[in-house]
């Protein structure tokens, strides 16, 4: 293997308390960000609140059913469920784990966490 460059990676694992020092949100700030992102509202079928990229992701995922009908209702209901629960949840990870049988909860929570 002479002559081949060696690539090294560094992975840092940090605790939850490092947030502000590393310019990362605290747990409370992350829960608020998730709630705001999933507070998708509509006016005459146009999204006017929440994260519009998440709304578009829902439309894309609903369109993959092959039926031609884009029913994003299940995603919206899961989003609102997470939005309403975040103030009382320990964390988004804990909430997703507590609802591990619900694939829409996992999807919506992960979309809003990025």
Number of compact structural domains in the chain: 1
Contacts 24+ apart (CB under 8 A), 79-82: 79/38, 79/39, 79/40, 79/50, 79/54, 79/108, 79/112, 80/38, 80/39, 80/40, 81/105, 82/34, 82/35, 82/38, 82/108, 82/109, 82/112
Query: pLDDT (tens digit, 9 = 90+) per residue, 7-19?
Result: 788 877 666 566 6
pTM higher than 0.85 for the full model?
Answer: no
Let me know if residue 17 belongs to a domain.
no
Let me know if residue 13 belongs to a domain.
no
Top-confidence residue, 55 or 20: 55
């Amino acid at each position: 293997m002479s002559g081949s460059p060696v690539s090294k990676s560094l992975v840092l694992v940090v605790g939850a308390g490092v947030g502000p020092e590393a310019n990362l949100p605290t747990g409370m700030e992350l829960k608020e960000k998730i709630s705001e992102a999933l507070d998708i509202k509509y006016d005459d079928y146009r999204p006017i609140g929440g994260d519009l990229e998440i709304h578009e992701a829902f439309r894309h995922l609903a369109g993959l059913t092959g039926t031609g009908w884009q029913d994003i209702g299940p995603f919206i209901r899961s989003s609102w469920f997470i939005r309403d629960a975040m103030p009382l949840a320990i964390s988004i990870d804990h909430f997703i784990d507590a609802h591990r049988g619900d694939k829409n909860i996992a999807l919506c929570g992960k979309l809003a966490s990025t």
